[in-house]
Amino acid sequence: MSTSVRSVRSRRRVTSALVALSLTLGTTGLVAAAAPAAYAAEASDVVAKLPISSYSALAVDSARERVYIADKRSFYYNDKGSILVYNFQGQQVATLTGTGPVTGLALSADGATLYAGERDAINAYDTGTLQLTGRTPAYGDNCGRELAFSGGKEWHTRANAQYDSECAYAVHALDYVSGGVQSVTNWNVTGRMLLEAGPGAANRLFMGQVRNEKATDPALTSFDTSGDTPVRGDARRFADATGKGGLDLKDLAVSADGKHLAVADAAHGTRLLNSGDLSDAATPYQPLPDGAVASAVAFSGDGKYVARGASAGGSTPDLLIQPADPANGTTALEFAYEGELDGNRIVPRGMEWSADGSRLFALTTNAAGGAYWLHIIQPPAAQYDSRFTGGLTSTPAQAVVGEPVGIRGRLELDGPAPAEPVRVTAVRTDADGTRKIAAAEVAADGTFTVLDVPARVGESTYTLSFLGDLTHRPAEDVSLTVSVAKAPSAITLTAPAEASKSTGLEITGKLTAQGRPLPSGITLAVQRADRLGTGALTSVAVAADGTFTLKDLPRVRGSVTYTVSYAGDDVHEASSAEATVWVRR
């Protein structure tokens, strides 16, 4: 049995190098090239191309370090599906062949039994020997089963339709197997239903209705599975009074502590709900990147991480791994799958974690949905501290409106050097409120400069943050208040040394200013001082390029001084200039 396996480093924003560790599995076994020491704390992504062209379910057996992938294979009525068995290193170790299409997988609470759904039965396999140990007849299903294990019972769906195209809106029912006997619950919905249970909610089963033409406002609900029959708990629909906003369900996941339910909603993103009453959690997850449509979600078994899968084009991330607590602002680890070596998107219901949270197993597919890849991603095992040191400084010494100001500082990162430069984010707070400004890249020595152009006169406070990454914890924010002044302006004059009283004189000039461009329609005040006194002359208009021309017929002979003045505005200082001319007869 031979499977191609490779390993790449994580790609944050799709910018890091593709290869840091190369694995190839052939007839001679596994050959590994050691990863550079500086990258030891980075996430790795082992990728195995799967020998299947269809997919229906994924299950992970952490005790025996096995990954089970169901190949539905129901192109023809007599097709026999299979279950591919991989180890945690991405090597295929076995194939279990069904008697018909395999359309659902679930592990017992102790992991000793793997349940697999087929058209007319639920098979049970010993996970230690991978041998078939039981086959419980089940009511016929032509649409594909969902399986889950909860309350000591194996739960599954069933639906019948004459054609595959009818399965999307056929009635799907909920049944279960206990003690080798199938029972019906009489619970059903129009359209497909997804089932989810988790170790944090041992006696609770969550059911979500998939949107279809007959159910435009699908429901979520939960069941208490501790008794002989299921007892339905709270339920919720999401459309507003106008009928908009209905759930477009792709996946469900229960948090490690059982307190939250995450929902991959193609119309909304990743919803985070309180598992008790299915109300919105107090703090939601941030939106997925623009262009990414939610397709899968999974919580790590140790409670640290949540993985959010999506379908996205180009360099837009298809997978985000981040702290499970949405209040933790640590930057997500992002993967963008966009090639024939990776697939193009995360498959709906295609992610599971190992129990200890050390590995995420994610399935991708190509644009046509006819090829599949298994990704085994290992987030860093440890996180290290980070801090801003030495305070912040600003340049220039006097900041002015409309001119760049630099906020300089230093960020220290413990642990191994990051594989890619990290960034600090910043916001500016002034009398107009708080505004996000461009992030700054941190140099190898930890220094950085955040650049901004102040928008108004007065005090501007800059607050800088490092949100961390999966290797480094966030740093405590630092702030610096900068006094912002009006931008200087200046007037230059060009005047003749002498002029004639009878023919008059002409003085040209130019008004310039730093910061924002001067507004149009500016006029300048003009004063003339001679031996008869000082008086105002007609103001002069400034052209778009800042130039102007002053013409005058002096009233006396001798020294005459002309003063041209700009009054300034909200963001520019006032300025003036003088020119003295000797006037002859």
Indicate if the pLDDT at residue 20 is higher than 70: no
- In whole angstroms, give the CA distance from residue 546 to residue 493: 12
State the virtual CA torsion across 227, 233, 237, 240 in degrees, nearest 10: 180
Q: What pLDDT is recorded for position 84?
A: 97
Mean pLDDT of 427-438: 94
Q: What pLDDT is recorded for position 435?
A: 94
**73-107 pLDDT, tens digit each:** 766 667 788 999 999 999 999 999 998 899 999 99
Q: What pLDDT is recorded for position 420?
A: 79
- The contacts of residue 483 (CB under 8 Å, 6+ apart) are 398, 399, 458, 459
- In whole angstroms, give the CA distance from residue 7 to residue 47: 6
Kindly report the three-state secondary structure assignment for every residue of 46-86: EEEEECCCCCCEEEEECCCCEEEEEECCCCCCCCCCEEEEE
Identify any residues that bridge with 156 across adjacent strands, giving them in sequence order.
147, 175
Are the CB atoms for 11 and 338 separated by under 8 Å?
A: no
Type of residue numbered 422: V
The label of the residue with tokens 């295929």 reads 92
- In whole angstroms, give the CA distance from residue 110 to residue 277: 28
Give exposure, 449-475, as e/b (b: 16+ Cβ within 10 Å): bbebebbebeebebbbbbbbbbbbbbb
Q: What are phi and psi of 575, to 5 degrees?
A: -155, 160
All CATH 2.60.40.10 domain ranges of the chain, comma separated, are 386-485
Can you identify the CATH homologous superfamily of domain 489-584?
SoxY domain (2.60.40.2470)
498: Cα within 13 Å, side-chain hemisphere: 3
All CATH 2.130.10.10 domain ranges of the chain, comma separated, are 5-378
**473-505 pLDDT, tens digit each:** 889 999 999 999 999 999 999 999 999 999 999
DSSP conformational letter for 128: T
The structure tokens listed for 260 are 């939250």
- In whole angstroms, give the CA distance from residue 519 to residue 542: 10
Instruction: Kindly report the number of other CB atoms within 10 A of residue 22's CB atom.
Output: 13
Q: What pLDDT is recorded for position 5?
A: 55
Which of 418, 471, 462 has its CA nearest to residue 443? Answer: 418
The structure tokens listed for 344 are 């193009």
Mean pLDDT of 432-444: 94
Are the CB atoms for 210 and 192 separated by under 8 Å?
A: yes
All CATH 2.60.40.2470 domain ranges of the chain, comma separated, are 489-584
Mean pLDDT of 279-307: 95
Q: What is the mean pLDDT of the chain?
A: 89
**344-387 pLDDT, tens digit each:** 999 999 999 999 999 999 999 998 899 999 999 988 767 789 99
The correct answer on CATH 3.40.50.300 for the domain covering 5-378 is no
**548-575 pLDDT, tens digit each:** 999 999 999 999 999 999 999 999 999 9
Q: What are phi and psi of 14, to 5 degrees?
A: 65, 30
Phi-psi region of 291 (alpha: psi -120 to 50; beta: other; left: phi over 0): left
- In whole angstroms, give the CA distance from residue 377 to residue 566: 65
266 — pLDDT class (breaks 50, 70, 90): very high
The structure tokens listed for 484 are 């912002």
- In whole angstroms, give the CA distance from residue 554 to residue 26: 100
Which of 247, 148, 251 has its CA nearest to residue 203? Answer: 148
Above pLDDT 70, what percent of the chain?
A: 91
**34-70 pLDDT, tens digit each:** 222 222 335 678 999 999 999 999 999 999 999 999 9
Are the CB atoms for 224 and 234 separated by under 8 Å?
A: no
Identify any residues that bridge with 136 across adjacent strands, giving them in sequence order.
122
Q: What pLDDT is recorded for position 276?
A: 92
Instruction: Please give the radius of gyration of the chain, using alpha carbons only, rounded to the nearest integer.
Output: 35
54: Cα within 13 Å, side-chain hemisphere: 16
pTM above threshold 0.85: no
The label of the residue with tokens 């007609």 reads 538
The correct answer on CATH 2.60.40.10 for the domain covering 386-485 is yes
